[in-house]
């Protein structure tokens, strides 16, 4: 069956100026990926690896000076295919919430501090469901119970709720219209570990109940290990590895992924793990060849000159690494 989302050779750049000179920041640089129905796809990588830029581009939520240079983003919704960059603004807002819902980073700010929670539901979700006023209230109340919130929160102002409750409200908002595709950008980062666990199991519950697909973005590899079905790793605007989450953790095929996994704290560890040397490159002036080469312990000559392509090395498991493509066992030594 056709995937729900197909991103093909997507490039999206920002224009900035430095000392009066125009520069291009290649935040999303030739990314292709597919997301199936009924799965949670995780996107990992350091901050400024292009994760947020990629999902903004997928959601069609980009504004100048950020723009799509080439490539396509196609959804295969139940009522027909949509090419995000061929939709009019009206068509795009028609699929928001009902087909495609986006929980933004710091999304608690969608809640207006001087308006009660019930108004947020009325403003965002009511225009997108085919129900009358009273039925809508019942729908929202049922949905709040799904995220383990008392419908009494509808009367509350955002500041009267805890951070965890507010995050659950935004999840309820994003899912009340039963969207086929849900994008969540670091939704649990600001929450403490216990609350985070609750929110994550809720994401899984709702996903299973609605049969939706979720694109879940976080730099936190432990969250990916517990939540996602498949995992993509971004580095410097590129997707560098992708596979079933358990395969990626068991046998990473990119040295950067191996580093991310090995730096996860484990029970019994005494000293903190040694970090990766150097910092992520500037996307305005990325290194030649493989963008990871200045930091890569396995780099060889060709890595400086030629950008590796994403290649399926093991079944359903792709990576962009010259060394792994020649001998995948070499990468294990890094971890
Ligand atoms: Fe390292 Fe070369 Fe692989 Fe890049 S292509 S990750 S530099 S070994
Ligand atoms: Mg981000």
Per-residue pLDDT of 274-318, as tens digits, reads: 667 788 888 888 999 999 999 999 999 999 999 999 999 999 999
184 C-alpha to ligand 1 centroid (Å): 30
Residue nearest to atom 3 of ligand 1 (CA): 321
Positive or negative torsion for Cα 96, 101, 104, 110: positive
Q: What span, in angstroms and rounded, lies between the C-alpha atoms of 68 and 15?
A: 11
Average pLDDT over residues 34-57: 93
255 lines ligand 1 (CB under 6 A): yes
Q: Give pLDDT, residue 109.
A: 67
Q: What span, in angstroms and rounded, lies between the C-alpha atoms of 195 and 178?
A: 24
Per-residue model confidence as pLDDT tens digits over 225-266: 999 999 999 999 999 999 999 999 999 999 999 999 988 877
Nearest ligand to residue 253 Cα: 1
Q: Give pLDDT, residue 260.
A: 93
43 lines ligand 1 (CB under 6 A): no
292 lines ligand 1 (CB under 6 A): yes
The residue with greater pLDDT, 329 or 17, is 329
The interface predicted TM-score (ipTM) is: 0.96
* Mean pLDDT score of the chain: 90
pTM to 2 decimals?
0.92
* Domain parsing of the chain, residue ranges: 252-265+276-335
Residue 107 pLDDT > 60, yes or no?
Answer: no
Task: Show Cβ contacts of residue 292 under 8 Å, excluding neighbours closer than 6 positions.
Answer: 235, 236, 240, 254, 255, 256, 299
319 lines ligand 1 (CB under 6 A): no
Q: Record the tokens describing residue 264, joined without a space.
A: 């996860």
Average pLDDT over residues 40-47: 93
């Amino acid at each position: 069956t056709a995937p729900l989302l197909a991103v093909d050779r997507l490039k999206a750049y920002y224009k900035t100026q430095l000392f009066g000179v125009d520069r291009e920041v290649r935040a999303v640089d030739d990314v292709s990926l597919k997301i199936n129905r009924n799965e949670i796809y995780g996107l990992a990588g350091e901050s400024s690896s292009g994760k947020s830029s990629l999902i903004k581009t997928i959601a069609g939520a980009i504004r100048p000076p950020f723009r799509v240079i080439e490539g396509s983003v196609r959804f295969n919704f139940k009522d027909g295919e949509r090419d995000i960059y061929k939709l009019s603004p009206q068509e795009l807002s028609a699929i928001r919430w009902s087909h495609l819902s986006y929980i933004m980073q710091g999304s608690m700010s969608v809640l207006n501090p001087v308006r009660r929670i019930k108004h947020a539901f009325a403003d965002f979700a009511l225009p997108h469901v085919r129900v009358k006023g009273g039925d809508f209230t019942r729908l929202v109340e049922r949905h709040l119970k799904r995220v383990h919130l008392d419908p009494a929160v509808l009367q509350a102002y955002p500041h009267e709720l805890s951070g965890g409750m507010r995050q659950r409200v935004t999840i309820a908002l994003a899912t009340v219209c039963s969207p086929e595709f849900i994008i969540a950008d670091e939704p649990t980062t600001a929450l403490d570990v216990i609350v985070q666990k609750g929110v994550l199991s809720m994401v899984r519950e709702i996903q299973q109940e609605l049969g939706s697909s979720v694109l879940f973005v976080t730099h936190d590899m432990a969250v990916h290990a517990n939540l996602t079905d498949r995992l993509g790793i971004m580095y410097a605007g590129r997707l560098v590895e992708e596979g079933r989450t358990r395969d990626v953790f068991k046998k990473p095929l990119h040295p950067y992924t191996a580093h991310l996994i090995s730096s996860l704290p484990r029970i019994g560890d005494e000293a903190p793990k040694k970090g990766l040397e150097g910092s992520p490159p500037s996307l305005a002036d990325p290194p030649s060849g493989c963008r990871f080469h200045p930091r890569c312990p396995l780099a060889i000559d060709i890595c400086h000159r030629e950008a590796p392509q994403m290649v399926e090395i093991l079944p359903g498991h792709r990576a962009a690494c010259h060394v792994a493509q020649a001998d995948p066992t070499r990468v294990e030594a890094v971890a």
